[in-house]
Chain A
Amino acid sequence: AQKITQTQPGMFVQEKEAVTLDCTYDTSDPSYGLFWYKQPSSGEMIFLIYQGSYDQQNATEGRYSLNFQKARKSANLVISASQLGDSAMYFCAISGSGTGANSKLTFGKGITLSVRP
């Protein structure tokens, strides 16, 4: 079974500063995908960034980057130059493997980020 652990309590960051959101995972599958989603209070789950287990380089998407440490089974999200609109719940997720299970995403409990002006 796969597991995502997000243990940080509510996070606070000053506008324009960088923040790191932690994610550790557990899986016995040799191949997997790691995803980060943002969910503002409106409810929509917004895809941010993806990292494949065999990717040699850390993924980056604009202000988002993923600090992927495979041996430590961690996939931390780094948001640079925080904006007020970054205030939201952030979920880390891992994709399954095997027939049918590819479609299953296992989510962590989420981290609430608040950006202070």
Chain B
Amino acid sequence: DTEVTQTPKHLVMGMTNKKSLKCEQHMGHRAMYWYKQKAKKPPELMFVYSYEKLSINESVPSRFSPECPNSSLLNLHLHALQPEDSALYLCASSPAPPQLTDTQYFGPGTRLTVL
């Protein structure tokens, strides 16, 4: 059983909707990540939180807004998305501060479709 969970598994939303993706980890990690993955492509890093503070933002459009309410939860708030934002969104966690030897453990992902 994965120790990183994500909800919902699937999400369909219109371009004017506001929705949120949720991620929870039970590994005691203090670094959490959001990735975006298009079909048959590798994951692309979006955000990194370390000790509940945003440490990396990979120039992601403001229609994606991350939030880390506590050490085990990570949210991604979505607003005014475009159809090209349709993708698999993966959450991951690792020990913090991240070391070269630290493995990132991924959740099962949320498949997002923007109509």
Contacts and interface: CB of A to CB of B under 8 A. Distances in A.
Contacts of A12: none
B94 A47 contact: no
Given A42-B108, A43-B88, A44-B107, A50 B101 contact: yes
B100 A32 contact: yes
A37 B92 CA distance: 13
B42 interface: yes
A45 B113 CA distance: 20
A45 B101 contact: no
Interface stretch (A15-23, A67-75, A79-87, A100-108): A100-108
Contact of A102 (B41, B102, B108): B102
Contacts of B98: 102-103
A43 B100 contact: no
Nearest to B106: A45
B56 to A, nearest CB: 6
Interface in B98-115: 98-109, 111
Nearest to A34: B100
B109 A33 contact: no
A102 B99 contact: yes
Interface residues of A, number: 28
B45 interface: yes
Given A32-B100, A43-B108, A44-B109, A103 B55 contact: yes
B28 interface: no
A96 B99 CA distance: 9
A114 interface: no
Contacts of B106: 37, 44-47
A91 B92 CA distance: 15
B43 A45 contact: yes
13 contacts: A32-B100, A33-B101, A43-B88, A44-B109, A45-B90, A45-B92, A46-B106, A52-B101, A95-B101, A95-B102, A104-B45, A108-B42, A110-B40
